[in-house]
Chain A
């Protein structure tokens, strides 16, 4: 008797346990996710894409050899196993055999994913003619070789710390690239109009580039299938309309909520605000070729003259953190001992006096002999952005009160890039950098990165920094690297090639009908497979 009861009880318990998920609203398949973006994707092609809208879509459509899960562990996507050689200079990837490319329009069936795809993607990426800045990120790899259809070997020039993390670049289908060796964006490729990848979502259509991108779940996905059946990206031409559309049910997710809309969404119980920090920061950059800006006291004075906290509070609702150096806070590279420059117009004035700028013009601008504290600031007009305007105008205002005049010049994006990176025709810029987790700042501050098209646009030259940067790139000891970075933080804070402003906390907002939403700081949709919509909310 007792035995039977026991068994019965255990069955009951099991049934009960199994049905808890259903009772709690289990992950059910189906439903659709419509999300809004401000602007339209520029290029839905890996390697070439460098705008965040395209990158987010590519995250849905394309796959990579491996990626990082929410716990920070390396997980295989297209690779099922990998092996790093003892000398750390060879990495062998065993590719999964159950991966298929998305269906190609006009073709029946689906092609298998093979090693050629990896090789071809890598070769195109590294080709000097390809319009991307990725080459410098991957030039530690000397060659890639296909061993067989499902094995690829990468040979490195020298060992690199956390090397596996670098293999998260997206893979393109070799069979759609034909004999192409480099990509510049103007080729007549099917891939440009109809992306074909190995990711969790398949590209269905994009009716004209100002209409939606429609994706559907990949039914033959090699990892766990996504629950949400359909994903649609709606481009918007007006940023204010996005939040309103979210609030009125027209979209389910807003990728990046402008600070001014945050309180409106917070007040509405139907929506959830999810903060995510990207590894980025904003700054004012100086052109050290200008003899006046080359004077350190001038740059320091500018840093003292502006009230960063006030700007952060007033323009961004305080959603962010001030920074003291060229790293994002919360990253392993940040040196918490270095103090931020406080707001002190008095100190700014003192520094400027000390630098010899004691006379003033009629308008109150400081001069020293023939040098005038008057600088030109160039700003890109890329999509209407009220916070940028406010920051810049406030900046101009703060500086005027210490006797520095800023003339603002608004330029179209391409012209701006040309002026800053190629012609170096500017004095100050306001911009932000977006990093990956290696935080390699050598392209920004190393003296050999000065030149047209390179990232050290401020022409900063410091031999100590150069050697520290070189050391940091070659060391394999993470503790050592951290120490070096801390030192760099100290020096670069003292030398002020940039005035470091803040790292903003981004907020995504979504309708609560979306469950289990987790957002990747840079790629956004990495964990989208786990998101789902309750049955009753699926319309």
Chain B
């Protein structure tokens, strides 16, 4: 228990320091750039102001476009989280069975098609996959599975929710990695003495020791993929018209709205680091003996 707390604090401190580092970097860049950003803060004072604004989540108004950042960012943030978390679940749900399946079969030829399939899905350009999905689904079901606002009574909410997640789940490259990881790990473990002995005894090899073998790297991979997933979300949000942070970030780029971008970066970094924190805690939980 104490270890939990220790680790939590250690990681949280880490996170804080990193976030400060990120904001410092951004602030530096913001001020270095010549000319056209009105409203730069002065030196250190400006920086502490920025920090205060960010940490209290009062983002104020964007200097460049006059928009109210708070009002815009939070709904978008929520939407992107939904998309991101959903796609992680989806990746795991797809990739783990494939990995297990391919490791289980001694004859690799059975599993190859599936592995190839997962590779293919991971290497198609994300927006193309999105278009393909839209095309196929709309022609076959008569519904266009893009985002529809609540209560407008149009579209199919289930499809609109699931398909972007599906596309992002494929497009974030986690599937092939997870598949690879699981199949190699599982193979290795299955051939180890312990597993062979277990099997001779008639026990099911799958859950006991394998659990540890899979969970740790899986968790590591999943959480380390968070930055990529946020990146992939930018594209998926465009195609499916999902009102999330990715679309907002690009809009900010077009408008050269650096204040908004800084806020978005801040929130993303928060997510990423938060994810790392959770990962450490999860690992600790699973494997309390391991240092």
Question: In their complex, do chains A and B touch, with some C-beta pair under 8 Å?
Answer: yes
Residues 38-75 of chain B, each 1 if its beta carbon lies under 8 Å from chain A, else 0: 11000000000000000000000101111110011111
With A210-B248, A241-B146, A250-B154 already in contact, the answer to whether A42 and B65 are too (CB < 8 A) is yes
B269 within 8 A of A: no
B204 within 8 A of A: no
Are the CB atoms of B152 and A208 closer together than 8 Å?
no
Are the CB atoms of B67 and A237 closer together than 8 Å?
no
A187 within 8 A of B: yes
With A185-B65, A185-B66, A238-B238 already in contact, the answer to whether A210 and B72 are too (CB < 8 A) is yes
Alpha-carbon distance between A134 and B238 when the two chains are bound, in angstroms: 34
Tell me which residues across on chain A come within 8 A of B255, comparing CB atoms. Answer: 42
Tell me which residues across on chain A come within 8 A of B256, comparing CB atoms. Answer: 412, 414
Are the CB atoms of A207 and B243 closer together than 8 Å?
yes
Are the CB atoms of B71 and A208 closer together than 8 Å?
yes
A265 within 8 A of B: no
Alpha-carbon distance between A211 and B77 when the two chains are bound, in angstroms: 13
Are the CB atoms of B146 and A250 closer together than 8 Å?
yes
Tell me which residues across on chain B come within 8 A of A229, comparing CB atoms. Answer: none
In the complex, which residue of chain B has the Cβ closest to the Cβ of A34? B152
Within 8 A of B (CB), among A390-423: 412-414
B144 within 8 A of A: yes
Tell me which residues across on chain A come within 8 A of B36, comparing CB atoms. Answer: 414
B142 within 8 A of A: yes
A371 within 8 A of B: no
Tell me which residues across on chain A come within 8 A of B76, comparing CB atoms. Answer: 208, 210-211
Alpha-carbon distance between A293 and B207 when the two chains are bound, in angstroms: 78
Are the CB atoms of B61 and A188 closer together than 8 Å?
yes
The range of chain A's interface size is 35 or more
Choose among B38, B237, B244 the residue that contacts A186 (Cβ–Cβ < 8 A). Answer: B38
B211 within 8 A of A: no
Are the CB atoms of B66 and A192 closer together than 8 Å?
yes
Alpha-carbon distance between A232 and B148 when the two chains are bound, in angstroms: 12
Alpha-carbon distance between A134 and B243 when the two chains are bound, in angstroms: 34
With A237-B238, A250-B155 already in contact, the answer to whether A209 and B67 are too (CB < 8 A) is yes
Are the CB atoms of A211 and B75 closer together than 8 Å?
yes
In the complex, which residue of chain B has the Cβ closest to the Cβ of A381? B254
In the complex, which residue of chain A has the Cβ closest to the Cβ of B237? A237
Are the CB atoms of A248 and B72 closer together than 8 Å?
no
Tell me which residues across on chain A come within 8 A of B180, comparing CB atoms. Answer: none
Choose among B138, B241, B248, B254 the residue that contacts A208 (Cβ–Cβ < 8 A). Answer: B248
Choose among B68, B143, B250 the residue that contacts A193 (Cβ–Cβ < 8 A). Answer: B68
Residues 10-39 of chain A, each 1 if its beta carbon lies under 8 Å from chain B, else 0: 000000000000000000000010100000
With A186-B66, A209-B67, A245-B146 already in contact, the answer to whether A237 and B247 are too (CB < 8 A) is yes
Tell me which residues across on chain B come within 8 A of A248, comparing CB atoms. Answer: 138, 142-144, 155
Tell me which residues across on chain A come within 8 A of B155, comparing CB atoms. Answer: 248-250
Are the CB atoms of B72 and A250 closer together than 8 Å?
no
Tell me which residues across on chain B come within 8 A of A212, comparing CB atoms. Answer: 149
B134 within 8 A of A: yes
A331 within 8 A of B: no
Residues 212-255 of chain B, each 1 if its beta carbon lies under 8 Å from chain A, else 0: 00000000000000000000000001111101100110110011
Are the CB atoms of B243 and A211 closer together than 8 Å?
yes
B153 within 8 A of A: yes
Are the CB atoms of B254 and A382 closer together than 8 Å?
yes
Within 8 A of B (CB), among A228-276: 232, 234, 236-238, 240-241, 244-245, 247-250
A351 within 8 A of B: no
CB of B67 to closest CB in A, whole Å: 6
Alpha-carbon distance between A245 and B67 when the two chains are bound, in angstroms: 28
CB of A513 to closest CB in B, whole Å: 13
A43 within 8 A of B: yes
Tell me which residues across on chain B come within 8 A of A244, comparing CB atoms. Answer: 134, 138, 144
Alpha-carbon distance between A343 and B243 when the two chains are bound, in angstroms: 47
A7 within 8 A of B: no
Alpha-carbon distance between A304 and B155 when the two chains are bound, in angstroms: 51
Alpha-carbon distance between A232 and B237 when the two chains are bound, in angstroms: 20
Alpha-carbon distance between A250 and B148 when the two chains are bound, in angstroms: 7
Tell me which residues across on chain B come within 8 A of A237, comparing CB atoms. Answer: 237-238, 241, 247, 250-251
Alpha-carbon distance between A413 and B248 when the two chains are bound, in angstroms: 18
Alpha-carbon distance between A240 and B36 when the two chains are bound, in angstroms: 33
Alpha-carbon distance between A382 and B239 when the two chains are bound, in angstroms: 18
In the complex, which residue of chain B has the Cβ closest to the Cβ of A45? B66
Alpha-carbon distance between A169 and B131 when the two chains are bound, in angstroms: 42
With A209-B251, A250-B146, A250-B154 already in contact, the answer to whether A238 and B239 are too (CB < 8 A) is yes
Are the CB atoms of B63 and A186 closer together than 8 Å?
yes
Within 8 A of A (CB), among B153-189: 153-155
Alpha-carbon distance between A248 and B159 when the two chains are bound, in angstroms: 14
Within 8 A of A (CB), among B92-141: 131, 134, 138
In the complex, which residue of chain A has the Cβ closest to the Cβ of B131? A240
Are the CB atoms of A43 and B75 closer together than 8 Å?
no
Tell me which residues across on chain B come within 8 A of A188, comparing CB atoms. Answer: 61
Are the CB atoms of B247 and A210 closer together than 8 Å?
yes
In the complex, which residue of chain A has the Cβ closest to the Cβ of B62? A186
A40 within 8 A of B: yes
Alpha-carbon distance between A192 and B75 when the two chains are bound, in angstroms: 19
In the complex, which residue of chain B has the Cβ closest to the Cβ of A251? B154
Are the CB atoms of A241 and B66 closer together than 8 Å?
no
Are the CB atoms of A208 and B75 closer together than 8 Å?
yes
CB of B233 to closest CB in A, whole Å: 12
Binding site for A on B (CB under 8 A): 36, 38-39, 61, 63-68, 71-76, 131, 134, 138, 142-144, 146, 148-149, 152-155, 237-241, 243-244, 247-248, 250-251, 254-256
Instruction: Offer 11 A-B interface pairs, CB within 8 angstroms, sorted by A.
Output: A34-B152, A186-B63, A192-B68, A211-B243, A237-B238, A237-B247, A244-B138, A245-B241, A248-B155, A414-B36, A539-B153
Binding site for B on A (CB under 8 A): 32, 34, 40, 42-43, 185-188, 192-193, 207-212, 232, 234, 236-238, 240-241, 244-245, 247-250, 382-383, 412-414, 539
Which 7 interchain pairs have the tightest Cβ spacing?
Answer: A248-B144, A208-B72, A237-B238, A211-B243, A185-B66, A208-B75, A210-B243
Besides the known contacts A43-B66, A234-B241, A414-B36, 7 further A-B residue pairs in the complex with CB atoms under 8 A apart: A186-B61, A208-B72, A210-B243, A210-B248, A237-B251, A241-B134, A244-B144
